[in-house]
Structure 1
Amino acid sequence: MKKQLTLIFSLLLLISTTDLYAAAEKGIITGKVIEEVGALPIPSAVVAVYEADSERPFLTTSTDENGFFKFNALKLTTYKVKISYVGFTSLTVKEVILTQKDFERDLGTLKLSSEQNNLSEVTITAEKPVIEFAADKITYNVDKSILAEGSTATDILKNVPMVQVDIDGKATIAGKRSTRIFIDGKPSDYMTSNISDLLNVLPSDAIEKIEVMTNPPAKYSGDGEGIINIVMKKGFAIGFNGNAGITAGLQGNTNTNTNASYRSKNYSLTGSAAYRTNIGRSTSHSYRENFDLVKDTTFYYDNYGRNRSNSNGGNFRGGLDWDITPQQNLRVSTNFNTNNSHNNAGTDFNFLSEELALKRVRNQLSTSNGSSHNVVFNADYSLKGKESGDKLTIGLTYNNSANDNLRLLDQHYTLPTTLKPSLRENTDAVGNNGLNFNLDYDRPVFNKRDQFEAGILYNQRKNDNDMLVRDFNFATQEYVIAEKLSNRFLYNERIIAGYTSYNYKGKSIGVKAGIRAELTDVDFDLSTGDSYNIKPYLSLFPNISINHFFKKRYNIGATYSVRVNRPRENALNPQINNNDTLNVSFGNPGLVPAYTHQMDISFGAFGEKWSFTPRLSYSTSSGVIERYRSVNVVNGVATSETTYFNVGSNDIFGIVLIGNYRPSKKLSANVNFTLTQSKYTSSLNSALNRDGLSIRSALGLSMQLPLRTAFETNINYANNANAQGRTKGSITSSMAARKAFLKNRLSARITISDPFGSRNNTLFSEGINFRLQSYSTSNTSNVTMSLNYRFTKIKKVPTPPKAN
């Protein structure tokens, strides 16, 4: 009997314990996920449950084939639920409260909008446009543009507000003479000897956003009048995600790329690979009037050129992001980039007398083969305080790159035929390596409302440029070294920097203020025995930014900063480039840094469906470094010599107008217009005392159509002035349409570039004894087709079983 009573008591205790556990763990959350357009269910969408104050999900599941999801055995507390799916905007539902009386919550039908709707992550009602504005920065969210799919960083930059990309792929900020490209907050020119090579193969699908900083904060290097920061994707949702795509164009260009991410609770692994081929064709025409001031005569050069290039390159990236503990994080990444090119160029040089009679005709054929590669390793370790919220970050970046180029120049005369031909071989080997170390500390203050930042940095960079020029001796049938043209240039740069800044966040006013100090030590040597050791110099860079928000839809901001343009190896190297003997170029080892004071005033007005942000800017620079062309006439031969000079001072006034209009979630339009007035003052040459007006504008339109189809178009215009002339206005345009299949996993896109004609560039330049007009056109008109497939495999966290 005693045993029976014991057994009954044990059963009653077990039942009561089970009931108590079930009461504490009986919460249920359910819902259904569908597409906003078409109302089709979305299977395999990631659904994660967070406790209200947590940033980490503790339960994750996926929707079934009908879009339904369910969480069982939840504690009775407050949650938030996040739904995400590749190709759609994430959705977060907050304040999901489970109580004893209301322990089962049905969230109903949750609609995910396509990523083409210009939204970032949504919290039910929050909407953010593709372009975000601040007093000192413009952010372009790359993954919201269908033009970005299957393309490269260079293609994307052409559509970013205030950014201009020239025919060689060089990106600059409108109205700024010197722009630096950063990747994940670190300077890319320390990573490769030619940033254009990297941007041409960096896949767009690996880029999260692009930040245009017109007045960079003190944390960033003082170099350049502006910074374009390319922020790479760091990972996706929990589980295995990624995409693969291929693009091919009628011009013969191709681009294949893939990226993948595996993310667990504590770490993520990311990797990407891309390979592209490109065929380039261009023609040019240059007409130069040469004035012989001694003999008071004029003669002319009328030159025609044609060029064809074939290039291919690959980009490979890998990274690890590891939360060692809730307070410690380690991020490691590596990048490998490779490029190969083959180029054939022919030029006909026509020499005309004062009576415009043809005196001589020289034909030149240039054949070149080039290859380059660069490797970058980056590591960042961060440590957060448990209570204070402060953060210490240690970063290390190492890079090594090499660029080799072999060029053959074959010249002969068809008029008169008695003049001797020439054959020249140029071998150019460039090596670049650098080490960058940074230590940053930031700490929230005043109830974590404000932010204090400080840091130190050390950067070391070495560049080795070895040029060997040999002329062919037709008598001995061998190459002979051209001593005056061959040269080896060794460049060493060391910068020690420190900064401190404070970020105040008031109820309606925000202030960022900081100062940066940089100690620069530079030396370089020539194979001729000449050595230059520039005395170390200290530069201070104050920075302040003020924003005032009022009436929940307006803001007004003002910024001020000091920047520097340091002459580096390409501008300092006196090595002579005479591939075109009538147009010779070389560097100037006597250059000194140029300093710029720049100020902006901006105003922003934001409505539910529109935004408008006009901006006024002013900058004044001393010792401006620019290319300067002069013509020397000797015995009736006029040779143009182009080098760099500290040409004088320059004042620039500018106005920037940026607007965005979104009449519906399916339609968005944006426009930006930049007008700058430059005024040069120079003691170098009276011809440089001149004014110039530059205009840049862009218009973009995107719309989401029925049947999972989207359309986007952009048109850009640029007209630039410089110290010796201007580049005439040129127009570029592109349009794309995309169709989604297989529940948005597969997308097909067709893109038309410059449908109204190839890109044309016209340059006017003049000096005391010459006037130059140069025209060029390239095969930018193209039609490309792209296929992109997104894949995902959700990692499910098992639902804890109910107690029995």
Structure 2
Amino acid sequence: MKLHLRLLFILTTLSFYSYAQVKPACSIRGKIIDLAAALPVPAAVLSLYAADSELVLLTTVSDEQGNFRFQALKPGVYKLRVSYVGFSPLFVKGIILGEKSLEKDLGALKISADQNSLAEVSITAVKPVVEMTADMITYNVNQSILGEGSTATDILKNVPMVQVDIDGNATIAGKRSTRVFIDGKPSDYMTSNIADLLNVLPSDAIEKIEVMTNPPVKYSADGEGILNIVLKKGFKIGFNGNAGITTGLQGNTNTNTNASYKAKSYSINGSAAYRTGIYKSSGQSFRENYFPDTTFYYDQHNQGRSRSSGGNFRSGLNWDIDTKQNLRVSVSYNKNNNKGNSGTIFNYLDQYKNLSRIRDQQNENQGSNYNLFFNTDYELKIDSNGQKLSVGLSLSRNASKDFRLLDRKYIFPQYANPVLQENNNNIGNKVLNLNLDYDKPLFNKRDQLELGIQYNYRKNDNDLLVQNFDFQQQQYLINMALTSRFLYTEHILGGYASYSYKKNGWGIKTGIRSELTSVNFDLSTGGSYALKPYLSLFPNFSVSRFFRKRYTIGASYSMRINRPRENSLNPQINNNDPLNIYFGNPGLSPSYTHQMDISFGVFGEKWSFTPRLSYSTARGVIERYRTVAPNGVSQSTYDNVGTNNSLALFLTGNYRPGKKVSLNTNMSVIRSDYTSLLNSTLNRNGFSFRAAGGLSLQLPFKTAFESNLTYSSNLNAQGRTQGSLNTSFAARKLFFDNRLNIRISGTDPFGRRNNTLYNEGANFRLNSYSSSNTSNLSLSINYRFTKVRKNPAPPATSVK
């Protein structure tokens, strides 16, 4: 009996000891991609090793979508070898698994066609902030600490080739018209003011930003380039989320939270963000007005302050109905409010620059806008070879209200001619988008055929009510000369076909897109316009070659269109500044642009360098054009100003001397030549310039530092806008197993952001200077919470 008890005690002790030694199971997953064609690679062989051994521990193969997974791994450091017939082997080193990192997602691993002259390629598991391909620049937001606790507007300021103006509008350098997409869908269909949307979209919801100078034919042909903001969709099995708050010395705050739950066949996610901000600005402009019989001058000084707030709410569902069907649904809501006041002093100077009159204007404004967006996508996998059919539907409704009170009077030589004016502007948009896409791999998935049709409907209602106070009757009376209602309706039916080829390092893609456009708009003051439906064809071609495992060269061509839309067509007069009024031009015609790019890339173990040469020629260029009437009032409107030929050189480089240091830089030099029949002053040429540099450091004690500097100077049809040097930095410290993130960031610590405008016309010269309170220091606190369980997957094959 005692013997049995002793045996039982020993076995129990050993069991508890063995149990205590069991460590949590870990896993590694990722996706294999063909570098040249950007397509999944099925049946690639993956071999897993211990970091300090050449003995294979496990092997597996990628599925038809290129995905792979190793499961039930012990904590430790591993390396991975990827091999596929006709492609160079790829090594991924430094894969660390442990209690703090149970599951390692390596993301997209790109393999290239085999070139026998050089050794195998090695990469690390760290994804770079900036990735370059022949036709796209990708900025990985989650690899940049400057992007944490911020908004989409802040992130875009650090993306290569992207410029963000003082109003928050983002454009691609050298492109007159840039469209911003969210998950491949135009954001200007989601809101009437893109800057408002970007200013409340939290960075934690963004996975990456894609800069496309020659977008594929799958995308709308509008604009000379596309900025595509890709939101996060992939989440680990289980419950994940984070919450954070940012506050700054300038009175800015930003709170955000997001959470997701992923089960075997579905995932749900939601996010919310709320931000506040204070905006201060000042400016001065000096205009020389010269006519045959006289010359006089305007010296104008501005001061402004406004407070804004806004929220962003988003929820989504991703459901794998079965192995062949997937349904995605998302709903988002944005809300913005603003309130402010400003003052302007107008100094009237005679031909001898003596002060003759002074007029003072005080403005009060308040406004709000909202946007409700619904999107759903259904995908059907027709077979196991990658043939699939997808259907998408998007509905959007947004509205804005803007109220302004203008109080102006002459204060020198005496108080005289007081004017009180109220402007009420209500804008509403309704949008419907439908798309049907078909993809079919051909020739053992070497080639890819893509077909699709799209329909876009947009309706805009702009109602402007202007009232002036009658001091005799002591009441507001409608100003019929300025009050009007503008109704705009647009239908675009598009179709595309694309074919891509890849073999032995070559990647070729060609396609064509056709769009049938119908537009009509009406004015309450009289006048109905209907553009005759017109059909446009947009060819697209790109070729790339990856060779010797470190060089890539590519060329692309596309044709694009810049359609005049409601903002440029609407002839309603804005006289908030009575000496500088502006209005749209209902007589505008579409502008077509031919674009060609040649890119070259060379990649070393610690560095990369990618120059890109771009040429474009545009006819009927749409730009804002300023004239001055004999009474001295400047009138700005849009016009097809003429022809523009542009030659641009873009240089992008990255250097990583070690795993903890990264340097990146990008520069663009653009030569533009304008030719116009409107006015001889529009026949001008010159250079635009932009340069940016960044430093990223991984420091001891879970600390990181990052900084960026940018400078830009841009030419337009009537002059030049020159900006000052803008700087930003951020330092981050991690606590509690990397769950708590504390970050200090600063923007423009050496001074306010300044902009200078030089403008010239047939009878005027204008120098304008503005400054805004971008100098700021912010503190961010972010906490990540997660509860992860294992994701069932086919076991890897053990190699003995």
Instruction: Provide closer, same or farther for how the CA distance between residues 89 and 119 of structure 1 changes in structure 2, counting only shifts above 3 A.
Output: farther
In 1, the alpha carbon distance for the partners of 2:60 and 2:203 equals 42
Which residue does 2:48 correspond to in 1? none
* Cα distance change on mapping 1:798 and 1:575 into 2, 3 Å: closer
**Match for residue 63 of structure 1?**
none
* 1:385 CA displacement: 2.0
Q: Which residue of 1 aligns with 2:240?
A: 241
- Offset of 1:91 from its aligned partner? 8.1
Aligned to 1:487: 484
**1:601 alignment partner, one of 598, 601, 616:** 598
Counterpart Cα distance in 2 of 1:281 and 1:487: 32
1:536 maps to which of 533, 542, 546: 533
Cα pair distance change 1:48/1:213, threshold 3 Å: closer
Q: Secondary structure at the match of 2:198?
A: helix
Q: Distance in 1 between matches of 2:205 and 2:72?
A: 22
Q: Are residues 256 and 77 of structure 1, via their aligned partners in 2, closer, same or farther at CA, if it must alter by over 3 Å?
A: closer
Question: What are the superposed Cα offsets for residues 46-78 of structure 1, whole Å, 9 maximum, x if unpaired?
Answer: 63689999999xxxxxxxxxxxxxxxxx99988
> Which one of 364, 367, 373 corresponds to residue 367 of structure 1?
364
Q: Check the 8 A contact 1:246/1:257 in 2, yes or no.
A: yes
Pairing 1:81–2:70 present: yes
Measured at CA, do residues 643 and 665 of structure 1 come closer, stay the same or move farther in structure 2, by a change above 3 Å?
Answer: same
State the shift of 1:270 in Å. 1.0
Which residue does 1:148 correspond to in 2?
Answer: 147
Task: Give the AA of the match of 1:81.
Answer: F
Q: Percent of pairs identical after alignment?
A: 61
- Seen in structure 2, the aligned counterparts of structure 1 residues 799 and 285 have a Cα distance that, compared at 3 Å, is closer
Give the alignment's Cα RMSD to 1 decimal: 3.1
Q: Distance in 1 between matches of 2:391 and 2:713?
A: 43
C-alpha deviation, 1:235, in angstroms: 3.2
The reply to whether residue 592 of structure 1 matches residue 586 of structure 2 is: no
Check the 8 A contact 1:235/1:263 in 2, yes or no.
no
Contact 1:46–1:237 (Cα < 8 Å) also in 2: no
For 2:27, the equivalent position in structure 1 comes to 47
Counterparts of 1:238 and 1:582, CA distance in 2: 61
User: Are 1:510 and 2:507 an aligned pair?
Assistant: yes
| TM superposition shift of 1:319 | 0.4
CA separation of 1:438 and 1:95: change in aligned 2, threshold 3 A = closer
Distance of 1:641 and 1:188 partners within structure 2: 30
Aligned to 1:633, what secondary structure does the other structure show? coil
Distance 1:774 1:593, change over 3 A: same
| 1:141–1:32 distance in 2 versus 1, CA, 3 Å | farther
SS at match of 2:416: coil
Aligned twin of 2:557: 560
> Is 558-567 or 121-130 further displaced after alignment?
121-130
The one of 762, 766, 769 aligned to 1:768: 762
State how far apart, in whole Å, the 1-side matches of 2:78 and 2:439 are: 31
How far, CA to CA, are the matches of 1:797 and 1:333 in structure 2?
A: 24
Deviation at 1:31, TM superposition (A): 11
Provide the residue aligned with 2:251 in structure 1.
252
Tell whether the 8 Å contact from 1:225 to 1:563 is kept in structure 2 after alignment: yes
Q: How far did residue 529 of structure 1 move?
A: 2.5
Distance 1:617 1:51 in 2: 32
CA displacement, residues 705-756 of structure 1 (integer Å, 9 cap, x when unaligned): 0000000000010000000000123221100100000010001000011011
User: Map of 1:347-358 to 2, 5 A cutoff?
Assistant: 347-358=344-355
Partner residue of 1:423?
Answer: 420
Residue in 2 that maps onto 1:210 = 209
Asked whether the equivalents of residues 48 and 83 of structure 1 are also in contact (C-alpha less than 8 Å), the reply is: no
Q: Does 1:747 align with 2:727?
A: no
CA distance in 1, matches of 2:551, 2:347: 60
Spell out the pairing of 1:388-787 with structure 2 (5 A cutoff). Answer: 388-634=385-631, 638-787=632-781
Q: How do 1:217-236 residues align onto structure 2 when only pairs under 5 Å count?
A: 217-236=216-235
Query: Partner of 2:278 in structure 1?
Result: 279
Does the C-alpha gap of structure 1 residues 467 and 91 become closer, same or farther in structure 2, counting only changes over 3 Å?
A: farther
Determine helix, strand or coil for the equivalent of 2:233. Answer: coil
AA aligned to 1:458 is Y
Give the TM-score taking structure 2 as reference length. Answer: 0.87
1:76 and 1:773, CA in 2 relative to 1: closer, same or farther beyond 3 A? closer
> 1:567 touches 1:593 (CA, 8 Å); kept in 2?
yes
Superposition deviation, residue 166 in structure 1: 0.3
User: Match of 1:329, SS?
Assistant: strand
Go from structure 1 to structure 2 and tell me whether the alpha carbon gap of 1:55 and 1:175 turns closer, same or farther (over 3 Å shift).
closer
Separation in 2, partners of 1:90, 1:677: 51
| CA–CA distance in structure 2, aligned partners of residues 109 and 685 of structure 1 | 65
Q: Which sits farther off after the overlay, 452-461 or 413-422? A: 413-422
> Aligned equivalents of 2:76 and 2:753: distance in 1?
36
- TM-score w.r.t. structure 1 length? 0.86
How far apart in 2 are the matches of 1:522 and 1:228? 25
Structure 2 distance, partners of 1:467, 1:610, is: 55
User: What displacement does 1:89 show?
Assistant: 14
Q: C-alpha displacement at 1:389, in angstroms?
A: 1.8
What letter corresponds to residue 420 of structure 1 in structure 2? N
Q: 1:266 aligns to what?
A: 265
CA distance in 2, matches of 1:575, 1:52: 54
Call closer, same or farther: CA 1:168–1:95 in 2, change over 3 Å: closer
Cα distance change of structure 1 residues 621 and 414 upon mapping to structure 2, 3 Å threshold: same
- List gaps (5 residues or longer) in structure 2: 1-17, 34-39, 43-56, 62-67, 84-93, 111-121, 795-800
CA–CA distance in 1 between the matches of 2:309 and 2:72? 40
The separation in 2 between residues aligned to 1:50 and 1:427, in whole angstroms, is 54
Q: Distance in 2 between matches of 1:546 and 1:235?
A: 31
| Letter paired with 1:352 | L
Residues 52 and 80 in structure 1, CA contact (< 8 A), matched pair in contact too: no
Q: Secondary structure at the match of 2:724?
A: strand
Residues 1:336 and 2:330 are matched in the alignment: no
Letter in 1 for 2:257: T
Asked whether the equivalents of residues 118 and 129 of structure 1 are also in contact (C-alpha less than 8 Å), the reply is: no
Counterpart Cα distance in 1 of 2:100 and 2:541: 39
Residue 95 of structure 1 deviates from its aligned partner by 9.0
Question: Structure 1, unaligned stretches of length 5 or more?
Answer: 1-27, 34-43, 57-73, 97-106
Relative to 1, partners in 2 of residues 1:140 and 1:76: Cα closer, same or farther, differing over 3 Å? closer
> Which AA in structure 1 matches 2:70?
V
Classify the secondary structure of the residue corresponding to 1:780.
coil
Would you say how many aligned residue pairs link Structure 1 and Structure 2? Answer: 727
Quote the Cα distance in structure 1 between the aligned partners of 2:633 and 2:257: 49
Which secondary structure does the structure 2 equivalent of 1:577 belong to?
A: coil
Deviation by residue 1:752-801 (Cα, 9 ceiling, x = unmatched): 1101111000000011110000000000000000001111011246999x
Distance 2:128 2:310 in 1: 34
Aligned in 2, Cα 1:380/1:629: closer, same or farther, shift over 3 Å? Answer: same
Matches within 5 A, 1:96-115: 110=97
Cα distance change, pair 271–210 in 1 and its aligned pair in 2 (3 A): same
**Preserved CA contact (<8 Å) 1:257 1:275:** yes
Q: Classify 1:729/1:561 alpha carbon distance in 2 versus 1 (closer, same or farther; 3 Å).
A: same
Give yes or no for contact 1:752–1:782 (8 Å, CA) kept in 2.
Answer: yes
1:59 maps to: none
Letter in 2 for 1:226: G
Report the Cα distance in structure 1 between the residues aligned to 2:76 and 2:216, rounded to whole angstroms: 31
Conserved? CA contact 1:225–1:596, under 8 Å = yes
Tell me the secondary structure at the aligned position of residue 352 of structure 2.
Answer: coil
Using a 3 Å threshold, how does the CA distance of structure 1 residues 525 and 46 change in structure 2: closer, same or farther?
farther
Check the 8 A contact 2:674/2:683 in 1, yes or no: yes
